[in-house]
Amino acid sequence: EGLLENDLQKTQLIPIQKLKLKIPPLRNLGNVEKIWSAMATWNHLESLHLLGSNEEILTGRFSLNIKQLTLCQINISSETMTILAQLPNLTLLRLRELSIKGGALTFNGNDFKCLAYLELVSLGDLKELKGDRVPQLAGLRILHCDHLNYQET
């Protein structure tokens, strides 16, 4: 087991509510699934900020109590968005400096049931927002998404 995995196991004893985590390249992490399994057990975690290394790292589950999530410098796919869309308490989602596979974010009517605020910043690959309105969305901030053709309706 790597040092990071040992540290994550120790955190199960502490009720973490807010965490900012910089994730090194995958080759330095060892078994990523063990890390995601440990994080999924953090039932008190409500705010998570992940700063990645421009790799797709979101392969696991999140604590269902997450209310605020910031993802920065991570590659995400439609599967990742499906995972995020099912977080029942997510009210704030910030996507910053990400690479979006396929160039589109798709929202379905049953997704993101509690999401009140969505921030999209410097998503160079993002060309399109597709799908239905997010039911509870009160705020949308889009900055430096130069290829996005977006018209508010």
User: What was the pLDDT predicted at 10?
Assistant: 54
Select the more confidently predicted residue: 13 or 105: 105
How far, in Å, are 65, 73, 95, 137, 144 from residue 100 at the CA level? 25, 11, 10, 21, 14
pLDDT digits (tens, 9 = 90+) for 68-127: 999 998 888 888 888 889 899 999 999 999 888 888 888 887 889 999 999 999 998 899
pLDDT digits (tens, 9 = 90+) for 28-75: 555 556 666 666 677 788 898 888 765 555 555 677 889 999 999 888
User: What was the pLDDT predicted at 58?
Assistant: 59
User: What was the pLDDT predicted at 116?
Assistant: 96
User: What was the pLDDT predicted at 2?
Assistant: 47
pTM of the predicted model as reported, rounded to 2 decimal places = 0.78
How far, in Å, are 2, 91, 97, 120, 136 from residue 145 at the CA level? 37, 22, 9, 7, 23
Residue 2: partners with Cβ closer than 8 Å, 6 or more residues away: 29, 30, 31
Select the more confidently predicted residue: 119 or 12: 119
